[in-house]
Amino acid sequence: MSYTIINVGQGSCGIAAGAGKVKKVLDEKLAGSGINVGIVGCIGMCWLEPIVDVYENGVLHRLVKVNENSAEEIAAAVAADDFAALSKYEITADDKDFLDQQTRIALRNCGIIDPESIEAYINAGGYKALEKVVTTMTQQQVIDEIKTSGLAGRGGAGFPTWFKWNAANQSAGETKYLICNADEGDPGAFMDRAVIESDPHTLIEGMLIAAYAIGASEAVVYVRAEYPLAIVRLKKAIAQAKEAGYIGKNIFGTDFSCEFTIKAGAGAFVCGEETALIASLEGERGMPRLKPPFPAQKGYWQKPSNINNVETFANVAWIINNGGAAFAAMGTENSKGTKVFALTGKIKRGGLVEIPMGKTLRDVIFGIGGGIKEDKQFKAVQMGGPSGGCIPEQLLDTVIDYKELSATGAIMGSGGMVVMDETTCMVGMAKFFLDFTAKESCGKCVHCRIGTKRMQEILTRIVEGNGREGDIELLEELCSAVKEGALCGLGQTAPNPVLTTIKYFRNEYEAHINNKKCPAHECRDLISYSIDADKCRGCTLCAKKCPAKAISGEVKTPHTIDPDVCIKCGQCATVCRFGAVKVD
C-alpha cells in the first residue's frame, strides 16, 4: 500500500466551484480507509477548480475539474492503490506550465499547506524569520534588510517599504500601531484574499516582523467584510499563533510583545487610502485628510502608525530568511522582487500569477495565461483597477516595472490584470470605471465629487448614442481638473481609465459620437440585429429562443427580426448555427 495524502483546494473560488462537495464525497468514501483528506488553500489555477492533489509516496498527482462523480472514482482508485486510474483527471502538461513559469514568494505556501494548521506553516519553515528577527537582529538591521531587498508597497503606490518602517520607527512616542490594509477594493484583484485564505500565518509573521521593526505592540488587520472565509481563517490563525506564543507578551522570551486585532471594513473603496482607512478604523466615515502629518507621525489614534498591504507583508518572512539581496536579485533596476497578478477577463487560463518584475505583459497574458479565450483578438489589458488604465496591443511588450507601466498611463496598482478582447467596448469600459468612482468618491473634494459625476454623465450619453461633438475634449478638460483638484489617490487617479482609453482608442469614441456606432458591438443602443436571408435556412431555432418574440418566419424560409421589438440580447446570434445573424 502506498503512503497517500489527499488535499482538496479550499479557497473561496474552489468552494464556489464545488470543492466543498468534492471533499465531502472523498471524506465519505475514504472513511475508515486510513487515508485522511486534508485541505489546502488556493493554488491560483482558478479555471481548473475544484482541484484535488493526491500524493502517492510523495509524488504529486494533481487532479483538476473534479466533480462529485469523479470524486467517487478517485476515492475508489486511491483506496484500491490504483494510481494509474487517476491519469484521466490529471492536469495537462500545458496547464501545468501555468505554474512552472512562475516564481512564488508571496504565494509560496498557497495551495500547498493547510491554511488552518499552524503546524503545517511551521513545518514549511514558518516563524523562523520571526525568531531570527526578535532574537538576533536590531530594529535597524531589520529595516536595513528590507531596504536591501528593495521591497515596495504592493497595494498600488509602490512606495519603498523600508522608508515607511523607518519613519514610523524614528517617530517619537511610546505607543505605535502596525496596520495591515486587507481592504482589497480594486475590482478585479483578489491576491490578498488568496493569501489570507491560503496562508494566513505568512501575513501574521510578516506583520510581527514589521511591528518589531517599528516598535509597535499592537497590530490591526483591516479586512473587507466581503471576505468571510478570509476573516474566519485569519481569526483561527491568530488564535493559534497566540496559543503558540508568537503573539502576545515576551515573544521568544524577549521584551518584544505584540497583540493582534481584526476589524472588518464595511465597504468603501476610498478606505484603501491610508488616512481614510485610519478614520474608518476609528469608527468614523472613511474620508481622507491632508498629509502631512503622515501616518508615521500621526496615524491611528494620533499615534505613529505604519500601514502596509497584505502582499507586502507576505514577502517579509521570505526576505528575512533568504536575505534582502536574494529578493533584489530579481526584477529590474526600479522594481525588485516578484509581483502577484490576478489574471482575469477574456483569458484562457485565469488565476493568480506571481512573476519576477521585468517580464513583459505579453509573457503573462500569452505565455502564462495562454492567450485569449476562443482565440479572439486581444484588444487591451486593464491594469490597476479604477486608478489604472487600459494598455493596448502595441504596448504588450511593456516590461512589468513601476515606472514603465506608469509611462503607459496605467499603473502597477494592486495587480489586477483584466484582459479584454475585440468584443469589449472601450468607451463602455471607461464608463464602467467612472460609474464606480463616482459612486465611491467620498465627497470631500468638489472636483472629485462633481467631476466624476459629470464624466460619468458624458460617458453615459456617448454609449447611449447621444454623444456630442466636443465631448472628448470636455472629458479631457474634466480629467485634468479632477486630477489637480483631488486630495487623495482616488480622485487623482480616477481619470486614468478615461485618459488611457481616449489616448489609445480615440477612434472608438469618435465612432460612438460621430457615426453612432459601437465598433465592439457591445453598446446596445448603437447596434442592430438582422438576418442574412442568403444564409438563413429557416431552422426556427432563433425564433424559439428569442425572449422578446421579435423573430418571425416560416420553417425553411429566411426569418426576419422586427427591430422595434428586438431587445438586442444577442441570443439569436449565439444560437444560430449558420452565422446568419448580423450585428451592425
Partner 1 sequence: MSNTADLSLLQPVLDEYAGVKGSLITILQSAQEIYGYLPQEVIYHVAEATGSSPAHVLGVATFYTQFRFKPVGKYLILLCKGTACHVNGSDMIAKTIYETLGITDGETTEDGLFSLTFVACLGCCSLSPVMLINDDTYGSLTPEKVKSIISEIQAKEAAV
Nearest-approach distance from CB 300 to partner 1, in angstroms:
9
Nearer to partner 1, 126 or 345 (CB): 345
Nearer to partner 1, 8 or 134 (CB): 8
The closest of 70, 79, 100, 69 to 6, measured between CA atoms, is 79
The Cα 526–Cα 460 span in angstroms is 12
Angle at 23 between CA 65 and CA 68, to 5 degrees: 50
Tell me the three state secondary structure of residue 227.
coil
Nearest-approach distance from CB 517 to partner 1, in angstroms:
19
Nearer to partner 1, 256 or 300 (CB): 300
Nearer to partner 1, 86 or 420 (CB): 420
Task: Please name the residue that has the C-alpha cell 488535499.
Answer: 7
Identity at 436, one-letter amino acid code: F
Nearest-approach distance from CB 371 to partner 1, in angstroms:
16
Q: Hey, how many other C-beta atoms are within 10 angstroms of the C-beta on 507?
A: 10
Nearer to partner 1, 379 or 559 (CB): 379
Nearer to partner 1, 91 or 151 (CB): 91
Phi, psi (rounded to 5 degrees) for 537 = -100, 0
Nearest-approach distance from CB 59 to partner 1, in angstroms:
28
Q: For residue 386, is the peptide bond before it cis, meaning its omega torsion is within 30 degrees of 0?
A: no
In sequence order, the 6+-apart residues with CB closer than 8 A to the CB of 450 are none
The Cα 182–Cα 105 span in angstroms is 18
DSSP per residue over 5-70, as a string?
A: EEEEE-SHHHHHTTHHHHHHHHHHHHTTTT--EEEE---S-GGG-S-EEEEETTEEEEE-S--HHH
Nearer to partner 1, 35 or 434 (CB): 434
Identity at 429, one-letter amino acid code: M
Nearest-approach distance from CB 524 to partner 1, in angstroms:
9
Nearest-approach distance from CB 196 to partner 1, in angstroms:
11
Nearer to partner 1, 123 or 301 (CB): 301
The Cα 553–Cα 175 span in angstroms is 78
Please report the sign of the dihedral spanned by the C-alpha atoms of residue 210, residue 215, residue 220, residue 223. negative
The closest of 226, 187, 223, 175 to 203, measured between CA atoms, is 223
Nearer to partner 1, 253 or 547 (CB): 547
Nearest-approach distance from CB 190 to partner 1, in angstroms:
4
Nearest-approach distance from CB 402 to partner 1, in angstroms:
21
Is residue 523 exposed (0-12), middle (13-18) or buried (19+ Cβ within 10 Å)?
buried
Nearer to partner 1, 49 or 363 (CB): 49
Is residue 534 exposed (0-12), middle (13-18) or buried (19+ Cβ within 10 Å)?
exposed
Nearest-approach distance from CB 450 to partner 1, in angstroms:
18
In the complex, which residues of this chain contact partner 1 (CB under 8 A)?
Answer: 12-13, 15-17, 46-47, 49, 184-190, 193, 225-227, 263-269, 280-286, 301, 342, 344-346, 350-351, 382, 385, 416, 418-420, 424, 429, 432-433, 436, 440, 442, 547, 569, 571
Nearer to partner 1, 171 or 414 (CB): 414
Is residue 439 exposed (0-12), middle (13-18) or buried (19+ Cβ within 10 Å)?
exposed
Nearest-approach distance from CB 375 to partner 1, in angstroms:
17
Whether the CB-CB separation of 203 and 310 falls below 8 Å is answered with: yes
Nearest-approach distance from CB 47 to partner 1, in angstroms:
6
